[in-house]
Amino acid sequence: MVDTLLIPGPIVLSANVQKALGTPSLAHTSPEFLTVFSRVLQNTRKVFRADPKKGQPYVLPGSGTLGWDIAASNLICPNEKALVLSTGFFSDSFAECLKLYGADVDKLDAPIGGIVDPSEVESHLQKNKYRLITITHVDTSTAVLTDVKKITEIVHRVSPETFIIVDGVCSIGCEEFEFEKWGIDFALTASQKALGAPPGLSVSMISQRALDFAQHPETPTRSFFGSLKRWSPVMQNNESGKAAYFATPAVQLVNSLDVSLDEILQDTLEKRWEQHKKTSDWFKGKLTNELNLKLVSEPQASASGLTAVYVNEPPKVVSYLKQNGVVIAGGIHSEIGGKYIRVGHMGVSVVDPKLDHIPRAYELIKEAMH
């Protein structure tokens, strides 16, 4: 029997997404594949809530981490300033990526489980000229949810020329997200979390003004594979159904993403957001109210797609669930890593009423605690 995968990604796949992985290989420039890829790129715009024409979506072979490299190598020049809002391990890693490409990084650290004070963000934006700001919508190490809308409002008011970069790896598909309405310049995610596809695809969206900057002749090209000067014309052609080539796309993974995006849009994004929040609230409520456990994330800043919770002897709890067919994750935050567990609740595990994945995970955690 296959274990139920409840880590914060990869997640359990729907039957139809799993089936799409088994489709025969297609030539990546064939009309058959271009029909699929064009639809995937158009639906990526819809899932990100981006403009139907402006800017450009990208679906590239790679993990969510590739999105950091794309932002750091295309949207900021060496020695230009970047402001990073850190709510955990992955925010810190984004800062390291920016430094590697030569950015001058200022990092605002939130208290563990909390968010960066918006007034502190405003103060830094008033004092310095930043090329970009990065916001990790949900940091998977702490399950902290940052209010992206509130931060974008501050940036647009105080420093409108600053590019707004959002790491949406553990949020897009399960948290409210409005690329166009909130005025975001670049957002990145990955296929294996709330998008409900297998790992292996880096999925991102860029605004028109950020794309113009990346493609400007005076903006240096500092990555080969991650170059938006190379990828943008390919994606633009593919989205319009025309063959173009830079590097081979992951054909079967794109097929599976095609199915998963369609499932999300058939449900409607609002319904998906609501279902994830309802499940998250139920699960967190059971853990805190019935088992008297403490969440890593503050209640008002808690993600809908995963839960991070302090437990005694985390390895014992993780092992007990594994013995009973459920896979969860331990902690990875450098300061509290050995004190908590993480449980993912995204995709079909949440939206398929026939599955009892999350209630069963709760019951097993309850058993493990006694």
List domains and CATH numbers for the chain. 4-10+267-369 (3.90.1150.10), 15-264 (3.40.640.10)
Cβ atoms of residues 103 and 81 within 8 Å: yes
First and final C-alpha spacing in the chain: 26
Q: Can you tell me the distance from the alpha carbon of 221 to that of 69, in angstroms, rounded to the nearest whole number?
A: 12
**What are 130-155's pLDDT values in tens digits?**
999 999 999 999 999 999 999 999 99
- Could you list the residues known to form a binding site for substrate, using ranges: 342
Strand-pairing partners, residue 327, are 5
Question: In angstroms, how far apart are the furthest CA atoms of the chain?
Answer: 64
Using CA atoms in the order 136, 141, 147, 148, what is the torsion angle rounded to 10 degrees?
20
Q: Can you tell me the distance from the alpha carbon of 76 to that of 94, in angstroms, rounded to the nearest whole number?
A: 13
**What are 79-109's pLDDT values in tens digits?**
999 999 999 999 999 999 999 999 999 999 9
pLDDT score of 22:
92
Please state, in angstroms and as integers, the Cα–Cα distance from residue 140 to each residue in 193, 265, 308, following that order.
11, 24, 9
Query: Cβ–Cβ contacts within 10 Å for residue 22, how many?
Result: 9
pLDDT score of 183:
98
Mean pLDDT of 204-230: 97
- Could you list the residues known to form a binding site, using ranges: 342
pLDDT category at 1 given cuts 50, 70, 90 is confident
Q: Can you tell me the distance from the alpha carbon of 110 to that of 124, in angstroms, rounded to the nearest whole number?
A: 14
Cβ atoms of residues 58 and 37 within 8 Å: no
